Homo-oligomer: A and B are copies of this chain.
Amino acid sequence: MSLKPRISKGTRDFNSQEIADREYVFEIIKKNFQLYGYKPIETPSFELRENLLGKYGVDADRLVFKILNSGEKLRNADLSALEENLLTKFSNSLSEKALRYDLTVPLARYVSQNQNEIIFPFKRYQIQPVWRADRPQKGRFQEFYQCDADLIGSDSLWPEIEFIKLFDSVFTDLKLGAVNLKINNRKILYSISELISINDRFSEFTSILDKIDKIGIEEAKKLILLAGISNEKFKKIEFLFLKDISVNDRILNLKSLLSNSKIGTDGVSEIEFIFNTIDQLNLKTISLELDLTLARGLNYYTGTIFEAVSNTIEIGSIAAGGRYDDLTSIFGLNNISGVGISFGLDRILFLLKEQGLLPQKNDDKIKVMFTNFGNKESLFSYNAIMKLREKGIVCELYPNNSKLKKQISYANKKGIPFIVLVGENELYMRKYTLKNMLNGSQKTIDLQALISSFTKK
């Protein structure tokens, strides 16, 4: 009748050491978010289904976890949709809620819903898990944390500058080693897609570019040609895929290539401003790279886009973000531009672990275990335990009156440095025998001396 204890695929348990490692990264990110003037919000784990779907693109929508309706609502199952193999329609008839896919769309809902209380420009950070129905594989999880900061309600480029500095501050504090921050602009990409007449399928175009990391540039070129672009047109934009061109040359190329396009020209001058400004601000850890093949998968980006990768170990993007000009308009709040970034906890942790950069857990609270030789002895121990805890000393009573060897072995396995033995003799004398597990020394002392031995330096 018993079940094999199994965790759901693509999810993880965390023990106390892993939690300490994760907290280390969270704290550094949080500290910098606050230093830059961002304040926290939290949103619910699930949103109404219609709030989430249709914002990310078709591929991503498929990865949104839907929550099954319960009770009588199940009768609304759209069986004809199932018969016609319209599985999305069928599943929508069974679900009103869905798990958070990212922190940006919930933010747009939050900002629109609370627009009258919020002080704009609104600077918020949010550190919460998100869920994606991705096929589980090494390093890819169905539940993982995102650490986001966003600035909503400014069309200035200074937020972009601030976020580049914020990337730099976080990666510097983490001592992560050299990080490459790829940057591009959706306006430039859109203008290019116009140039090769694929702008009516812009998201197809960006989704091909977005795959370059996985499939390589040559395959991506093939896909673009397959998408119906003539060789002649493709030649115009082939230089985008070349490496080893200076930023200045790239910008000059783009300026002439896109000179007839308002949106293209805007995108180029945004990029130019960012590079010129950052040039005069000292970056410590990251280097900025103009990567015209960077696309970012999500539909909602409209301007600058970022992606950070480690130069030390190749594991894909460790942070990313971008400008979304009108995300809140889905929720009826128009003309609000936002920009935001997101740190991926898991890959950052992987990099830190691989390079031995996680701090040794420094558990500075003294730990004491009292042995248990019976109820009378334990009650006597408990008086000392209460006093020690009042002084902030971590104490525990071994719960059972087990053999001493077993009790000592428990303390050893848990790395508890001090044991207090209370047996018949101690009880009679109203004293405690304190044993130092590291050097084996022991002494029998009264309550006052016991407390002093932990509190006096």
Contacts and interface: CB of A to CB of B under 8 A. Distances in A.
Interface of A: 2-8, 11-16, 19, 34-37, 39-48, 50-51, 62, 65-68, 70-72, 74-75, 77, 79, 82, 87, 90-91, 94-97, 99, 109-110, 112-114, 119-121, 123-124, 129, 131, 133, 143, 151, 154-156, 158-159, 161-162, 165, 169, 273, 277, 280-282, 329-333, 365, 367, 369, 372, 375, 378-379, 382-383, 386, 389, 392-401, 410, 413-414
A132 to B, nearest CB: 11
B16 A39 contact: yes
The oligomer's copy count stands at 2
Contact of A400 (B72, B154, B165, B280): B154
Contacts of A6: 48, 51, 109, 113
Given A13-B42, A332-B2, A156 B400 contact: yes
Contacts of A161: 382
A416 to B, nearest CB: 9
A106 to B, nearest CB: 9
B35 A394 contact: yes
B332 A50 contact: no
A47 B13 contact: no
Contact of A378 (B4, B112, B158): B158
B44 A13 contact: yes
A44 B129 CA distance: 10
Nearest to A331: B5
B66 A41 contact: no
> Which 8 A-B residue pairs are closest in the complex by CB-CB distance?
A11-B44, A37-B396, A5-B331, A5-B112, A154-B399, A5-B113, A16-B39, A2-B332
